[in-house]
Chain A
Amino acid sequence: MSTLENGVIRSPAVHAPGERQITFGQAILEAITEEMARDGSVFIIGEDVAEAGSVFKVLVGLLDQFGSERVIDSPISEAGIAGIGVGAAITGMRPIVDIMFGDFTTLVMDQLVNQAAKTHYMSGGKLKVPMVLRTTLGASRRSAAQHSQSLHALFSHIPGLKVAMPATPYDAKGLMKSAIRDDNPVVIFEDKMLYQERGPVPEREYTLPLGQADVKRAGDDLTIVATSSMVYVALEAADNLASVGISAEVIDPRTTNPLDTEALVNSAKKTSRALIIDEGYQQYGVTGEFASVIADGAFYYLDAPVKRIGAMNVPVPFSPVMEDLTIPTAEYVVETAKALCG
């Protein structure tokens, strides 16, 4: 993915030349460390978050800095720790609940969907649930069907939850910090294939608003909306499309709920064509919502139907030759884009 680095480092307004480069994983750790230092009510709980520094080694050092009172190794009890998160959040804390694999979020559904998402509303605005649930998404680690899914659409569906899915180290840090400070339950999906991805992250303090899309590459002929690691797929496709004279704009919504509908619609109005890429299952996925937003908002500007590419509607298979077929690739995006612009 390093070939795409130039695509990501794009905006001189955000990134200074020669700026410090850190990995996505380091950016997450920096965000959590800074917020824990800034606010004593922030703590993190999850399986292997403390001694092991998380299964992806993202949290190494956190235990030493903040101690076992605030960096808590839990039993393998996803629903239980999510419930603890809700209860602690209602009573004055800002918990970060760590769910190792996004697939395991199915075990916390009641606590997130029926409890966290509804508590503020059902209490007539009296109770607040300022908690973060951080988890992962993404296939291609040869981990098979129960450790590879991208289930962000399930949570994006639920009023009362916010859902963030950063693509770059810069976005990861800024969104994580905002998620921790937000007074609502926020689910943040980190693509486990991105943890080693490097990118510019300023040393100065910053946060990114939840609900603001980012133009990862400007273009005129086609809008490609892409989430999380699909941003890199989109950027690679955009490079290839440029060589055949198609100028693609890559928009990263960064959060699916709230969704920056204006950014999506405005880009589609400008380019008159839209293609959406996401690693969640295509059926009933966030791609459908994005497509609907664009179709509604930019209908009279469109020269072609909105196209979407999600993960294949099959459980993620183990064998590499099959797994690779299930996720969107730059080649397929290029083909689809050419057809769209033809």
Chain B
Amino acid sequence: MSETNDTKPNATELDAEHWLQAYEQMAKIRAFEEAANELYTSARMPGIAHLYIGEEAIAVGICEALRQDDYITSTHRGHGHCLAKGAALDKMFAELLGKEAGYCRGKGGSMHIADQETGNLGANGIVGGSAGIATGAGMSIKLRGTDQVAVCFFGDGALGQGLLYESMNMAQLWKLPVIYVCENNQYGEYTHNSKTAAGSMVGRAAGFGVHAQAIDGQDIRTVHATARLVIDRARKGGGPAFLVCNTYRFHGHHVGDIDRPYRTREEEAEWAKRDPLKLLEDWLVKSKQAESDVFERIQQDVKSDVENAVNYALEASFPSESEVDRHVYA
């Protein structure tokens, strides 16, 4: 178990067509988040949202290695996970705007999108709150005897939560097919993790005997190759894994966190050079797998899809008042 990436990315695992699909997924998430930001700043979205911009390679790299019947649990910064697992833009925006056509009929909002059909067991407003749920999904998979896998996404802030360690301990004891994905975007809200996380991040999981590694979360090739290995291993009964994906939150903690006084513009500029979309684009062009104009076309397409979805959501109806006490009990 080392802090470094001990899995060699294998660029030949996916062909150019698949990498372009992955690029499109990342671009879709980026465009979605930019539109969410715009809806907030133009006061058309109730509440706030936590943007995933800068971290797209993790959700897409991992979800591209999953089957539709595999599970994910997500976080308050969860739009990217939901979309990468297959959620539709229009129902996502409708949920963000509190409309009845949304994934949760307007009852969940940005932080609670769940979509059973794509295996999304729900985003979560409690930091680290889904560690137990993902582990329970792993337990359920084991008891039902299927070869599904559950992925638990969480941020570095969740490293402060005891539930995560209780869960990883049990997952390793019982060899549950759960992949714990720590999106280390450096900050828990407004505090750098150097002030909140002592010692080694991967060492936390390694202490339980869980396969643990830290990887470059900006490079989708690395993320995807690593994901394939640990997911395949878990599917075959090899037990859980813990990935620390080093990344950066390009925007603030949420859409209203504009000044970001807790970090420097220089630091942001350094990370901006490692934009996950740009890294994939550069590699595909450099390795002559794609022409540069392809990327612009993809950008245009996803922006147009996002625009249509936003319009759909803006025009959709709010839930009727009679909806308020429905679904308290099943």
Residues of A within 8 A of B (CB): 41, 43, 45, 69-70, 74-75, 77, 79-93, 95, 110-111, 114-115, 119-130, 159-160, 162, 183-184
Question: Which single member of A45, A88, A128 contacts B137 (CB below 8 Å)?
Answer: A88
Question: Which single member of A69, A122, A162, A183 contacts B107 (CB below 8 Å)?
Answer: A122
Closest A residue to B109 by CB, please name it.
A122
**20 A/B residue pairs, CB under 8 Å, sorted by A:** A75-B169, A80-B132, A80-B169, A84-B136, A84-B170, A88-B137, A90-B133, A92-B140, A111-B132, A114-B129, A119-B114, A120-B328, A120-B330, A121-B107, A123-B112, A123-B114, A123-B327, A124-B102, A126-B116, A183-B329
Query: Bound state CA distance, A83 and B135, in angstroms?
Result: 8
When distances are taken between beta carbons in the complex, the residues of chain B under 8 Å from A77 are 166, 169-170
Given A41-B143, A114-B126, output 19 extra A-B contacts at Cβ < 8 Å: A77-B169, A81-B132, A81-B170, A83-B136, A83-B163, A83-B166, A84-B132, A92-B144, A93-B143, A93-B144, A110-B129, A111-B132, A111-B163, A120-B330, A122-B107, A123-B104, A124-B107, A125-B330, A126-B115
Closest A residue to B167 by CB, please name it.
A80
**Interface residue? B138 (CB, 8 A):** yes
Query: Bound state CA distance, A75 and B140, in angstroms?
Result: 18
**Interface residue? B162 (CB, 8 A):** yes
Query: Bound state CA distance, A83 and B122, in angstroms?
Result: 14
Asked if A125 and B129 make an inter-chain contact with CB atoms under 8 angstroms apart, the answer reads no
Closest B residue to A93 by CB, please name it.
B140
Asked if A75 and B170 make an inter-chain contact with CB atoms under 8 angstroms apart, the answer reads yes
- For B, the interface residue count at a CB cutoff of 8 angstroms equals 46
Question: Which single member of B107, B112, B138 contacts A87 (CB below 8 Å)?
Answer: B138
Asked if B170 and A80 make an inter-chain contact with CB atoms under 8 angstroms apart, the answer reads yes
Query: Bound state CA distance, A79 and B140, in angstroms?
Result: 17
Which B residues between 111 and 130 are near A, CB-CB below 8 angstroms? Answer: 112, 114-116, 121-122, 124-126, 129-130
When distances are taken between beta carbons in the complex, the residues of chain B under 8 Å from A88 are 136-137, 139-140, 143
**Interface residue? B106 (CB, 8 A):** yes
When distances are taken between beta carbons in the complex, the residues of chain B under 8 Å from A93 are 139-140, 143-144
Residue in B131, B141, B166 whose Cβ sees the most chain A Cβ within 10 Å: B166
The A/B interface has a contact count, at CB < 8 Å, of 151
Closest A residue to B123 by CB, please name it.
A122
Asked if B326 and A125 make an inter-chain contact with CB atoms under 8 angstroms apart, the answer reads yes
Closest B residue to A117 by CB, please name it.
B328
Asked if B133 and A86 make an inter-chain contact with CB atoms under 8 angstroms apart, the answer reads yes
Question: Which single member of B129, B150, B329 contacts A115 (CB below 8 Å)?
Answer: B129
Known contacts A114-B126, A124-B105; A91 and B136 CB within 8 A of each other: yes
Asked if B327 and A121 make an inter-chain contact with CB atoms under 8 angstroms apart, the answer reads yes
Known contacts A91-B71, A122-B122; A83 and B131 CB within 8 A of each other: yes
Query: Bound state CA distance, A111 and B167, in angstroms?
Result: 12
Query: Bound state CA distance, A288 and B116, in angstroms?
Result: 39
Query: Bound state CA distance, A125 and B163, in angstroms?
Result: 26
